[in-house]
């Protein structure tokens, strides 16, 4: 590590992508249409984007 950088490692936040409703697991984000089920798209303010393939869908206003 470089000098002066804090050695803290970020923890995984995958638990934020799921929600339990009535004993069933619900996924909060959409799946990527190119990559298929299992690859979530990131929800930005004005668009959905896939971190794996770069696919982007713009939200309508």
- Does this model's pTM top 0.85? My answer is no
In a domain, 2, yes or no: no
In a domain, 47, yes or no: yes
Q: What pLDDT score does 4 carry? A: 64
35 marked as part of a ligand binding site? yes
End-to-end Cα separation, the chain, in angstroms: 44
Q: What pLDDT score does 59 carry? A: 93
53 marked as part of a ligand binding site? yes
32 marked as part of a ligand binding site? yes
The string of pLDDT tens digits covering residues 3-60 is 667 778 888 888 888 999 999 999 989 999 999 998 999 999 999 999 999 999 999 8
Domain count, the chain: 1
50 marked as part of a ligand binding site? yes
DSSP label at 35?
Answer: T
Domain holding 36, by residue range, is: 25-58
Q: What pLDDT score does 6 carry? A: 73
Length of the chain: 61
Q: Is 57 helix (H, G, I), strand (E, B) or coil?
A: strand
Q: Which of 29, 27, 35 is nearest to 54 (CA)?
A: 35
Helices (H) and strands (E) in the chain, counts: 0, 6
């Amino acid at each position: 590590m470089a000098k002066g950088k804090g050695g803290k490692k970020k923890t995984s936040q995958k638990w934020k992508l799921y929600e339990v409703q009535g004993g069933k697991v619900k996924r909060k984000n959409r799946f990527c249409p190119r990559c298929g089920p299992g690859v979530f798209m990131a929800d930005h303010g004005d668009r959905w984007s896939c971190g794996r393939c770069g696919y982007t869908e713009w939200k309508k206003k």
